[in-house]
Structure 1
Amino acid sequence: MPKLLCMQRPKQSIRKPVLTTSQNGLMSLPGVGTFSRNPAHHHPYCSSTSDTHTPNQVAPSLPPPDILSADTLQAIDAVEYITDYLKDEQEEKAFRDDWKYVAMVIDRLLLYVFLGITVGGTIGIIGSSPYVLETVDQQKILKQLIYRYKNAGDL
């Protein structure tokens, strides 16, 4: 139906990714700076560097990874809530955009129907009226009216 009505779907807004990766493996976040995902470049107490140690190597004394402060857990929960909310919002926006497109197609269809009925009705009314396409002898009509006016008193 949209192709028949000469319509195209509106372009979806594409969000630019916030996290960019360069060719040398460095990642950058706006406002934070650049960092590497390579575990060798991490802090010695980072949990991702513990995977690089061999069993024969003694790792520096690391705090247990399961112990996090209550504030940290609340912050993680808040971030998860926000990301879930934003994902749901994007899904709802996509759903609304689909229905807006359907509404645009129906509006265009109804516009063409209205235009066809209006133009057809106008042409039908004008074509069916008398004297529209005929030539009129105005002198003859004037003589008839003058004759009726003059002879109206005689009746």
Structure 2
Amino acid sequence: MTLGSGTRYRAADPVRTTRLVAAAAAVLTVGAGLALRAVADGDVAKYGGDALYTVLLLALVVLAAPRLTPLTAAATALAASWAIEFLQLTDIPAELSERSVVARLVLGSTFNAPDLFWYATGAAAGWLVHTAVNSSRPHQEPARR
């Protein structure tokens, strides 16, 4: 597109924009999780953290694959959360968690059935936000060359 002065104007790349929003969402989600741990304890902190874990995974999924629909991104994040939770039925996460703080944060150590519900809650919340963000942004035609 050319503006009146002959200056070429190029619309923002929607994939790049989606990735930037997803990266910001990931950072905000980690901040929200840390803030939750600072102000709450017990079930509120634990289950809120579970929901935020899936929201973080959703943001990372969108960062890696920005063209996914909100439903597909949320389903992928939920499937990953559930897979990790069910992996805790084996000894693998517990053994890795003993050796690494990162493994403990990512994999946990013990299976807890209520976590499955809170992961679904996080996926639903993330899906709602992702859908709202997608619908609020104007859809642009790809640039012609």
Scaled by the length of structure 2, the TM-score of the pair is: 0.29
Structure possessing the higher radius of gyration over alpha carbons: 1
More strand per residue: 1 or 2?
A: 1
Higher relative contact order (CA 8 A, sep 6+): 2
